[in-house]
């Protein structure tokens, strides 16, 4: 029998019903968040059969169509093209791609599940990658022989194939120069594409409240609970603080839509776009969610119940389940376990490190080599995103090199082939992208007419041309890895790792990554990595320092009040961390002195910032 000791060394068994699968217990205590546009586009096909949850971006339907054709050819399936001439092509492409990924992942999962333990290498892999606390392993501990095999096969779970929509990337669309109804906007069409798919999973909304988009959810029955409390398509809200969670959760609850999970993300210690809070640090935010979790659930359920009754929909017999998860900068098993235990979280997001796992993400080898070599100085928050939001990026990425080449030739800007972030209406009713050649030409022409001093002209010029075509760049890796057509798009890759990438410097297998997450081994070669909460604190100090540098004689009282409150909030966060770490007994014992020293330094810096701000004359 396969590694019988591995299956029986654990302590007390979990209660298990051999006649049915777990409904709410996840196989793993982590998930892989969405990364870029293409880095996790087919991740579920690779990891869902092993019980791992991951998230697909729904931005690029063009790339999804290319990938669907590729996978149909690879698995000898019939392929039918969904042309852009089709009336609802964006939604139909998304539905078709999601259905294919789901079907293929299900097929692979069933082949693993039905394999014999003695001969099935992948079922051994499935078991080895489970955490020691796995309910399946605990249940099997009291069983033997055929009962173990039966228990395993009945209770193995496939990971969830979740999807992500950035709420503000909701471009209006036109046909024959006539604006189409709102349901044909990009985010609306993506929601419809997911709603019509055969997935039973979750839709992650990021980037804040979009009332019109949220209201559109009501059109689809799969988002509403039945009497048993089952929801075929759940809602996950990615939020930065408790207040945002309550506001968005209440908005949806009033429509009878339940938020099944609040996913808290660090404002700055994360990959992709960086949505900084007003000085609120991750620890205090997580503590508020932990302490008010039942209060939040009960308040939203009361609102949701009334809305369901008003809509003559089924009312669940019991209060609906609400998960709370977090992500942003986690890099060690100790940090992972601390978040689960201290803040009572249901899952921890591990993003950036998975960019070094070819079995899980799609990254071309040249870019992966750059990530392997990256140090702190190579990972920075840029202003390259056309969305106007700070964007984590890698110095020297091939898309930036491609962009600079066009600037040097006197032709700045992108040809804007895909137009997914064409959201600026500065030059007319029809929106264009700030990274496009058209927009940058108009802005540069406008700049020339201002006749500014050379230094100010150059500063303004650089702000215009620094925007990069990330809606293409964040998808190019998939084209390169899968040998798909890049004509007209270029081969430059944008990549958006978080600061945590500096501390991972070797390519990992999926098994090695999970062994690292669960503390069975250590894949981090560097010993000088700061605690993830202290890393975020330092990033906020840098952010605040840069904000203070913008204060001058022309600054108004509102700006000063904002920064004063920011400093006060951060001081409160430092107080919280000081009390927390002084009173922790087991967690972070080996690094406690270093953490407390970081907190003393942070307090001194904040005092300097406060004095600097107080001395600054402002315009009333």
Model pLDDT for residues 468-503, shown as the tens digit of each residue: 999 999 999 999 999 999 999 999 999 999 999 999
Can you give the pLDDT at residue 551? 87
Q: Residue 397: pLDDT band by 50, 70, 90 thresholds? A: very high
Residues of the chain with pLDDT > 90: what percent? 85
Mean pLDDT of 348-354: 98
CA–CA separation, 596 and 589 (whole Å): 11
What are the phi and psi torsion angles at 201 (to 5°)? -160, -150
Mean pLDDT of 510-531: 95
Q: Residue 586: pLDDT band by 50, 70, 90 thresholds? A: confident
Residue 31 pairs with which residues in a beta bridge?
53, 349
CA–CA separation, 328 and 540 (whole Å): 14
Bridge pairing between strands 174-175 and 178-179: antiparallel
CA–CA separation, 332 and 328 (whole Å): 12
**Orientation angle between helical segments 437-448 and 454-465, nearest 10 degrees:** 170
CA–CA separation, 431 and 367 (whole Å): 32
Mean pLDDT of 171-177: 93
Q: Residue 292: pLDDT band by 50, 70, 90 thresholds? A: very high
Q: DSSP states of 333-354 as a string?
A: HHHHHHHHHHS--SEEE--GGG
- Mean model confidence pLDDT for the chain: 93
pLDDT tens figures, 399-422: 999 999 999 999 999 999 999 999
| Residues in contact with 456: Cβ distance below 8 Å, sequence separation at least 6, in sequence order | none
Q: Residue 3: pLDDT band by 50, 70, 90 thresholds? A: very low
pLDDT for residue 136 is more than 80? yes
Q: Where in the chain is the domain with CATH 1.20.58.240?
A: 530-620
Q: How far is CA 579 from CA 224, 573, 574, in A?
A: 43, 10, 9
Convert 364-401 to b/e letters by CB count within 10 Å (16 or more is b): beebbebbeebeeebbebbebbbbeebbbbbeebbbbe
pLDDT for residue 446 is more than 50? yes
pLDDT for residue 431 is more than 90? yes
pLDDT for residue 559 is more than 70? yes
What are the phi and psi torsion angles at 580 (to 5°)? -60, -55
Q: Give, in words, the CATH class of 530-620.
A: mainly alpha
Can you give the pLDDT at residue 6? 34
pLDDT for residue 212 is more than 60? yes
Can you give the pLDDT at residue 120? 66
Q: How far is CA 402 from CA 383, 443, 469, in A?
A: 17, 21, 10
Q: Report the sign of the C-alpha dihedral through residues 586, 590, 593, 596, in that order.
A: negative
Can you give the pLDDT at residue 138? 86
pLDDT for residue 7 is more than 50? no
Q: Residue 117: pLDDT band by 50, 70, 90 thresholds? A: low
CA–CA separation, 200 and 580 (whole Å): 39
Neighbours of 195 (CB within 10 A): 21
pLDDT for residue 91 is more than 50? yes
Mean pLDDT of 535-550: 96
499 alpha carbon, distance to own chain's centre: 15
Report which of 206, 269, 191 is spatially closest to residue 237, judged by C-alpha positions. Answer: 206
Mean pLDDT of 287-294: 98
The structure's pTM equals 0.95
Can you give the pLDDT at residue 2? 37
Q: Are 325 and 264 in contact (CB under 8 A)?
A: yes
pLDDT for residue 10 is more than 60? no
Q: Are 599 and 574 in contact (CB under 8 A)?
A: yes
């Amino acid at each position: 029998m396969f590694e019988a000791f591995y299956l029986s060394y654990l302590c007390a068994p979990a209660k298990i019903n051999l006649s049915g699968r777990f409904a709410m217990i996840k196989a793993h205590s982590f998930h892989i968040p969405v990364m870029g546009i293409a880095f996790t586009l087919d991740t579920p096909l690779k990891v869902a059969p092993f019980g791992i949850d991951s998230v697909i971006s729904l931005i690029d339907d063009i790339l999804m169509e290319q990938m669907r054709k590729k996978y149909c050819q690879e698995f000898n399936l019939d392929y039918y093209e969904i042309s852009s001439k089709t009336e609802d092509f964006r939604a139909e492409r998304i539905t078709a791609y999601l259905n294919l990924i789901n079907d293929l992942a299900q097929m692979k999962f069933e082949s693993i599940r039905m394999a014999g333990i003695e001969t099935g290498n992948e079922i051994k892999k499935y078991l080895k990658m489970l955490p020691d606390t796995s309910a399946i392993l605990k249940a099997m501990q009291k069983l033997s022989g055929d009962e173990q095999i039966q228990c395993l096969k009945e209770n193995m779970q496939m990971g969830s194939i979740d999807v992500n929509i950035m709420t503000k990337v909701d471009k209006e669309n036109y046909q024959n120069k006539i604006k189409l109804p709102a349901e044909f906007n990009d985010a609306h069409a993506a929601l419809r594409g997911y709603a019509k798919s055969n997935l039973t999973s979750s839709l992650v909304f990021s980037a804040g409240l979009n009332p019109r988009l949220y209201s559109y959810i009501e059109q689809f029955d799969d988002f509403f609970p039945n009497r048993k409390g089952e929801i075929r398509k759940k809602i996950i809200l990615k939020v930065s603080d408790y207040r945002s969670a309550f506001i968005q959760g209440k908005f949806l609850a009033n429509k009878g839509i339940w938020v099944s999970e609040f996913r808290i993300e660090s404002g700055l210690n994360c990959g992709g776009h960086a949505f900084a809070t007003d000085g609120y640090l991750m620890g205090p935010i997580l503590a508020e969610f932990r302490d008010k979790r039942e209060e939040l659930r009960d308040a939203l359920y009361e609102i949701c119940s009334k809305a369901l009754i008003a809509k003559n929909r089924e009312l669940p017999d019991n209060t609906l389940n609400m998960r709370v998860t977090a992500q942003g900068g986690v890099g060690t098993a100790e940090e992972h376990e601390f978040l689960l235990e201290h803040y009572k979280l249901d899952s921890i997001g591990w993003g950036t490190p998975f960019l070094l796992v070819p079995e899980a993400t799609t990254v071309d080898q040249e870019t992966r080599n750059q990530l392997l070599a990256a140090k702190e100085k190579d990972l920075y928050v840029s202003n390259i995103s056309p969305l106007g939001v700070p964007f984590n990026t890698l110095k020297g990425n091939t898309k930036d090199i491609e962009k600079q080449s066009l600037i040097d030739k006197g032709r700045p800007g992108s040809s804007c082939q895909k137009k997914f972030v064409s959201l600026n209406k500065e030059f007319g009713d029809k929106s264009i992208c700030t990274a496009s050649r058209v927009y940058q030409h108009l802005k540069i022409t406008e700049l020339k007419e201002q006749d500014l001093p050379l230094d100010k002209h150059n500063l303004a010029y650089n702000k215009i041309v620094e925007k990069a075509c990330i809606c293409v760049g964040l998808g190019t890796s998939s084209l390169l890895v899968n040998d798909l057509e890049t004509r007209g798009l270029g081969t430059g890759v944008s990549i958006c790792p978080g600061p945590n990438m500096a501390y991972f410097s070797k390519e990992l297998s999926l098994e090695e990554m999970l062994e690292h997450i669960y503390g069975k081994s250590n894949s981090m070669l560097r010993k000088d990595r700061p605690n993830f909460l202290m890393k975020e604190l330092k990033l906020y100090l840098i952010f605040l320092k840069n904000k203070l540098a913008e204060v001058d004689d022309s600054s108004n009282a509102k700006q000063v009040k904002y920064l004063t409150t920011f400093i006060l909030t951060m001081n409160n966060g430092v107080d919280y961390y000081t009390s927390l770490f002084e009173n922790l007994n087991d967690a972070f014992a080996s690094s406690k002195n270093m953490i407390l020293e970081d907190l003393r330094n942070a307090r001194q810096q904040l005092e300097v910032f406060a004095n600097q701000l107080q001395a600054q004359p402002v315009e009333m």
